[in-house]
Amino acid sequence: MAKNSSRGNSIKVFGFRLPPKEREMFIARAAALAMSPHELARLYVMERLSANEAEEDVRDSLSRIQSDLTDARHELALAAMAILQHGGKTSKQVAEEFVAKNMVGSRRES
């Protein structure tokens, strides 16, 4: 029975060519990892196929972190204004200017 027979065998073999320089690099990398080139190629393909899901999870996590950080910065700015106005006895305008210059505005410009 042939390896690639479509009858009863759902596993297919994929073949591809590499330019000589890249082929030698690939063979050397496989050897350094104590793997055959076939094993390394299969590992790379399998990792890449599952990477899309992992990358999406990372993007979602980073988006949530960015949102949380933005919220925290706004809350910190409000807290600083309250402290400056009530504890430091400054005017609302002075407190807002301080926060805009030192806490909110300086981050947007960087």
- Picking from 68, 79, 71, 73, the residue whose alpha carbon sits closest to that of residue 103 is 73
Q: What is the pTM of this model?
A: 0.44
| DSSP 8-state assignment for residue 91 | -
pLDDT tens figures, 58-110: 889 999 999 999 999 889 988 988 888 888 788 888 888 888 888 865 444 43
- Cα(67)–Cα(61) distance, integer angstroms: 10
Q: How confident is the model at residue 19 (pLDDT cuts 50, 70, 90)?
A: very high
Q: Helix (H) and strand (E) counts for the chain?
A: 4, 0
- Cα(38)–Cα(45) distance, integer angstroms: 11
